[in-house]
Amino acid sequence: MRTERRATPRYPQPVKLAPGEVRHWCACGHSDTAPFCSDERCSAGERLSYTARKEEIVLFCGCGATRTPPHCDGAHIGLRDREPWWQRLKSWFRGA
């Protein structure tokens, strides 16, 4: 289990891929090279491989909230309006 905090949400990353090119999308959100996995920080179980069938531009999810991994489905649109978790914690402690 990871004890480090998650990377900040990022927006979709368009990537041009050649036929047969493979990219590993990071499902855990801890990668320094988000939205792709870095070997040092992501285990094999936290990767989702994507292989291009033809030359194409793929829009990879950068926020991790997609329901269609590794592709962006627009879930990041609602994330910017959410109150950050640390601000919610402040209100909890004020009431205590």
Please compute, for residue 95, the number of CA atoms within 13 A of its CA located in the half-sphere on the CB side: 4
Label residue 45 by pLDDT band (50, 70, 90). confident
Return d(Cα 91, Cα 76) in angstroms, integer.
25
Kindly state the helix (H) or strand (E) to which residue 57 belongs, with its residue range.
strand 56-60
Q: Cα(42)–Cα(44) distance, rounded to whole angstroms? A: 7
Q: Note the pTM of the prediction, 2 decimals.
A: 0.67
pLDDT digits (tens, 9 = 90+) for 22-43: 998 988 777 777 788 876 667 7
What is the reported pLDDT for 41?
A: 67
